[in-house]
Amino acid sequence: MTERIYIPLLDEGTNVWRPVEAQKVGPDTYLIPTGLDPKANGEEWEFPPGSTVVCQPRKTADGTILAAVRLADRGRKAI
């Protein structure tokens, strides 16, 4: 199942998020697709394509988003 998550962009001068359709692989973990190229849009993502990330709800000026907050611990099994 895929869900829209938001990846923080680096070096933007303010908080900027890139929406991405990612594969849900655990209760709060998502796999960012490998076929994406952030540099094609002149972007630098905090978490590159192919990363598995932990997501949490974050409030923004546009509402609440599901934000990637850190890399997932690959050694820990989802319960």
For the segment 12-58, what is each residue's pLDDT rounded down to a tens digit?
Answer: 989 999 999 999 999 999 999 999 999 998 999 999 999 999 999 99
Contact 38, 72 (CB under 8 A): no
Q: What is this structure's pTM?
A: 0.88
73 vs 60: CA distance, rounded Å: 26
Q: In 3D, which of 25, 79, 75 has the Cα closest to residue 53?
A: 25
pLDDT range class, residue 78, cuts 50, 70, 90 = very low
pLDDT bucket at 79, cuts 50 / 70 / 90: very low
